[in-house]
Amino acid sequence: MPLGMAIHNIEITLGKGGQLARAAGAVAKLIAKEGKSATLKLPSREVRLISKNCSATVGQVGNVGVNQKSLGRAGSKRWLGKRPVVEEMLREYNNICTLRLRMPISSDLSNSRNFITKITRYNKVVNIPNSMSVLDELLPISIEMAKRKCKGLWNFTNPGVVSHNEILQLYREYINPNFKWANFDLEEQAKVISAPRSNNELDASKLKKEFPELLSIKDSIIKNVFEPNKRSK
């Protein structure tokens, strides 16, 4: 399937049928292919990384005579269940502010829900760049957004992306010099997890424009997480 191809009805889990870009008029684009993965740009402008074994329908929803073509088994997870439905409902109201967080990180490295804490406890991790939210910086911004009466849907992440390996390298540098980890790919990961995982980059330019002081994801992690927790020499 060539780059730039318009597709819809995209599988998330192999053999489960289309789950992405199913609404009338919805269309995603194949923007990159590398190794076992494919990168899609969804109708929401979200960039999604999937594996190449899933199928998608070529063309836009409603086109006649289109066929399912393999892209790859999904190594990414759409917001399943209620979240996408609620998000679409909230779009109908002009007095709502919706904050879309991803992979929340905080300076509390003892918290099991902290993304950094999670991946330090895994036997193996994938190494994929992702958008993430540093709560120590973003939660005060959320209060300021309420004061400014910000409305609409906001990608509530720090600008840019950071990979699992980059975070773990910082963890080793600042916290535990003896820390070691191993990587595996999306296909290997799919064999040991109960549901596909999400890997994507969200456009935080709207938030950055409103709050120019907002740090990039890597700079924010260093300043707000690793520097305060830096081991004593």
Q: SS3 sequence, 212-227?
A: CCCCCHHHHHHHHHHC
Q: Which of 55-59, 64-68, 109-113, 194-198 has the highest mean pLDDT?
A: 109-113
Q: What is the pLDDT of residue 199?
A: 77
Q: What is the mean pLDDT of the chain?
A: 80
* For residue 24, pLDDT beyond 50: yes
pLDDT band at 119 (very low <50, low <70, confident <90, very high): very high
Of the pLDDT bands very low, low, confident and very high (cuts 50, 70, 90), residue 101 is very high
Domains of the chain: 6-70 (2.30.30.30), 82-226 (3.40.50.720)
Give percent of the chain above pLDDT 70: 71
Instruction: Considering only residues 157 and 88, tell me which one the structure prediction assigns the higher pLDDT.
Output: 157
Average the pLDDT over 125-147 and give the result.
Answer: 95
* 7-10 own/partner pairs: CB under 8 Å, 24+ apart: 7/40, 7/56, 7/57, 7/58, 7/59, 7/69, 7/71, 8/56, 8/57, 8/59, 8/60, 8/61, 9/56, 9/57, 9/61, 9/68, 10/40, 10/50, 10/54, 10/55, 10/56, 10/57, 10/71
Q: Identify whether the C-beta of residue 76 lies closer than 8 Å to the C-beta of residue 107.
A: no
